[in-house]
Amino acid sequence: MINLEVDIAGVKLKNPIITASGTFANGREISEYYDLCELGAVCVKAITLEPRRGNKPPRIAETPSGILNSVGLQNAGLAYFMKYEIPFLRKYDTKIIANISGCTIEENCEIAKRLGNLVDLIELNVSCPNVKEGGVAFGTNPKITKEITKRVKENCAVPLIVKLSPNVTDIKEIAKAAEEGGADALSLINTILGMQIDVNTRRPTLANNTGGLSGPAVKPVAVRMAWEVSSITDLPIIGMGGIMSGEDVAEFMLAGATAVAVGTANLVNPTACVDIKKEFINYLDENNIDDVHEIIKAVKIF
């Protein structure tokens, strides 16, 4: 039997496969395809204090080897999440990660405080590229990243993951700032800011003009950043960005990730997470690896 269990800041995940925030609704639809107990954790769609309608459509566009989105943090708000989504997810033997995406430091503190220990981990989103306030504005400035991490951490009853943006000059600097602020773990990468133009209408394909690129196109950037961040911190890293196969999982773990989040693949194939998990187990099996820890940060750098 291969040991797949990993530890994120004291929280044990039965395997390293997590759903990436915003690509899985909150599991209801996908639970009709497979048992959510298969997952190491479910990371839910971004939560704000009040409900948000998100940005104007069109807000998703296909690109070669990825998608652009500018959803704008649409969600039903914290009260709805606590009343309906937590009880639904708690029926499954998997961990819950709440992605919180308030517009202000105070809003994030309030959400974290009210969630208490009803979830297993909180992922602070300082990296959404699609909103005017908060999001990436927090996560591109090391001073603000440190400050928001510290303040939110003071209000967290569970370990705090900080989700980093790739839209920076040096992600290591932001990762260090999050660590200094008291982050218990880091997740990366959120989407890369992009733009697509319809040459016939001469208009951007997204009503927000720009959006975040995800999918296989971003994977080499994400792997590079996971590796860079793992070289400057011992905090556990959740790697994500374009994971479509079991070998992609191995690649992120070799780069230094303790766990991974699968995002865009869920939009292509509703059983992506379980398919990828099976492929990953096959990879471990074929390489005679009986404990997943053997490959974490095991890249042989030239």
By CB under 6 A, name the binding residues for ligand SIN. 22, 46, 69-73, 125, 127-130, 190-191, 212
Q: Which residues are catalytic?
A: 128
Q: Give least dist CB 290 to ligand SIN, A.
A: 36
Pairing verdict, β 237-240 and 259-262:
parallel
CA-CA distances (angstroms) from residue 210 to 20, 53, 130, 167?
21, 18, 8, 13
Cβ pair 81, 75 in contact under 8 A: yes
- What does the angle CA 47 – CA 53 – CA 58 come to, to the nearest 5 degrees? 115
Q: Give least dist CB 15 to ligand SIN, A.
A: 24
Q: Give least dist CB 284 to ligand SIN, A.
A: 31
- Give the C-alpha separation, 79 to 231, whole Å: 39
Q: Give least dist CB 31 to ligand SIN, A.
A: 22
Q: Give least dist CB 145 to ligand SIN, A.
A: 15
* Cβ distance to ligand SIN smaller for residue 27 or 246: 27
Residue 90 neighbours by CB distance under 10 Å:
12
Please say whether the dihedral angle defined by the alpha carbons of residues 184, 189, 194 and 196, taken in this order, is positive or negative: negative
* Cβ distance to ligand SIN smaller for residue 243 or 250: 243
* Cβ distance to ligand SIN smaller for residue 115 or 128: 128
CA-nearest of 285, 221, 208 to 247 is 285
* Cβ distance to ligand SIN smaller for residue 107 or 295: 107
- What does the angle CA 110 – CA 115 – CA 117 come to, to the nearest 5 degrees? 135
Phi, psi dihedrals of residue 255, rounded to the nearest 5°:
-70, -15
Q: Give least dist CB 254 to ligand SIN, A.
A: 26
Cβ pair 190, 238 in contact under 8 A: no
Radius of gyration of the CA atoms of the chain, in A:
18
Pairing verdict, β 210-214 and 66-69:
antiparallel
* Cβ distance to ligand SIN smaller for residue 72 or 242: 72
* Cβ distance to ligand SIN smaller for residue 22 or 241: 22
User: What is the rounded end-to-end Cα distance, in angstroms, of the chain?
Assistant: 32
Residue with tokens 């040991």: 3
